[in-house]
Structure 1
C-alpha cells in the first residue's frame, strides 16, 4: 500500500530528526547551539520589553495546549464509547491520552534544563517540548477521526487550521523562552513518529459523509 509505505518512511525520518536534535544537544554541536541561542536571545529581548506580548502568548499556549486537548479527548472518547465506536475511542486513548507517558519518558531520558531566560513559569525539563509533541499527536488524531465526517470542501480548511495551530504553539514556546528551538523540533518529530505508529498499528473506524473517500484505515 503506497500510503502505508509513505507513512512508515516519514515516521522513520521523523525519528531520525528527533535523534539528531538529541545528539546535537548532548554533544553541543555548534549549529544546534547557535540556532537555540540566536532564537532565544531575540525572543527574550523583545518579550522582556513587551509584557503584554508575553501574556498573550502564554494564554494562547495554555488555551490550545496539550492539557486542554487531552481534556477534550476525554469527552470525545466518552461520546465515542456511548455511540459504540470502540475502535475510535481506543485510538484516541492511544494517541491523545497516552502520548503524555511517552513524553515523560523522553524528558526523563534527556533531562535538559529549561532556558535560564524563561519569561514564564514552566514545569519539568525542557527536551523535548511537551506542547510541540502534544499538538503534533492530538491535532492529527482529531483530524483523522473527524475529517471523514466533514464535507470535502471544508477538509482543506480544517487541515490548514490544524497546521497553523501546531506551528504557532511550537513557536510560542520559543517566544516565551521556555524551550530551545531544538526542543520544539524534537517534540514535533517525536510526536509525528508516535502518531503514525498508532495510526498504522490501530487505525480508527469512523463514519464518513456520502461521497467522501475513506481515509487510511477508516474503512469498515
Structure 2
C-alpha cells in the first residue's frame, strides 16, 4: 500500500508538471471537444436525459452530499461505540478538503473558458475538488466500513463501489465542461493517495489501540 501512495504522488507531480508547462492543453481541449456535439459546442454529446443524469452524478462529489455521507457513517460508528474512529474519519476528510483547497490556490489554474458549461463555479480548476474529495471521502468510508465486515467479497464490493462513484464524479466534471481532463486525473491521484495514506495511518493507530480495532479483532466487537 505504501507503493500506491508513492505512485499516486508521482502521478500527481507528473500531471502538475505537464499542466504547468502548458503541454497538456492540446489533450485537454481535444477531449473536451470530443464530448461536445459537432457544431454545437454548448451541448454535450448524447440525449438530454444523459446530460441531466450526469448533472445528478456530479452532485455526488459536492460538499453537501459528501458531508451527508460522512455524517451518516459517523452516526453508525457512534452507535457501534467507535468514537475514536469517528475522530479519525473527520481528520481524514477535513485534511483532504484542506489539502484540496491549498492545491487549488497554489496552482491557480483557470477553468475551461472556451466551453459554455452552464454551471456556476467559484474556485480555480487544478486539481478538481469534486474528483479529489470524492476519492478521499468514498475510499475512506469504504475502508472504515470494510473493517466492520469479515467476508472478503463484501470488502471488495465496498471498495469497488467507492472507486466507481469516484470515477463517475470525475467523468461528470469533464462531460459538463467545468474542468480540464488533467484536473480530474490530478484530483483522482491526490485523493487516492491521501485516502490510502490515511488507511495505513489508521491501521498503525489500531495496532497501538489509538483507534478501535476491526470488529473481528475486538473481543465481542466494539458494541458488546
Q: Same fold (TM over 0.5)?
A: yes
Query: In the alignment, does 2:31 pair up with 1:26?
Result: no
- Structure (1/2) with the larger helix percentage: 1
Q: Is the 8 A contact 1:174 1:180 kept in 2?
A: yes
Residues 15 and 189, structure 1, Cα contact 8 Å, conserved in 2: yes
Task: Tell me if 1:15 matches 2:9.
Answer: yes
Gaps of 5+ in 2: 38-42, 204-210, 218-224
Deviations 1:177-218 (A, max 9, x none): 1111100010011111212222223345354359xxxxxxxx
1:103 aligns with 2:100: yes
TM-score by length of 1: 0.81
Residue ranges of structure 1 left out of the alignment (5+ in a row): 1-6, 211-220
1:1-220 → structure 2 map (5 Å cutoff): 7-29=1-23, 32-45=24-37, 47=44, 50-63=47-60, 65-81=62-78, 83-116=80-113, 117-121=115-119, 122-150=121-149, 151-203=151-203, 204-208=211-215
Distance 2:201 2:154 in 1: 28
Structure 1 residue runs of 4 or more that deviate by more than 4 Å after TM superposition:
48-51
3-state SS of paired residue (1:158): helix
CA distance in 1, matches of 2:95, 2:68: 12
Going from structure 1 to structure 2, the CA distance change for 1:13 and 1:156 (only over 3 Å counts) comes to: closer
Q: CA RMSD in A?
A: 2.3
For 2:72 and 2:132, locate their aligned partners in 1 and report how far apart those are by CA, in whole Å.
21
TM-score by length of 2: 0.80
Distance 1:10 1:49 in 2: 35
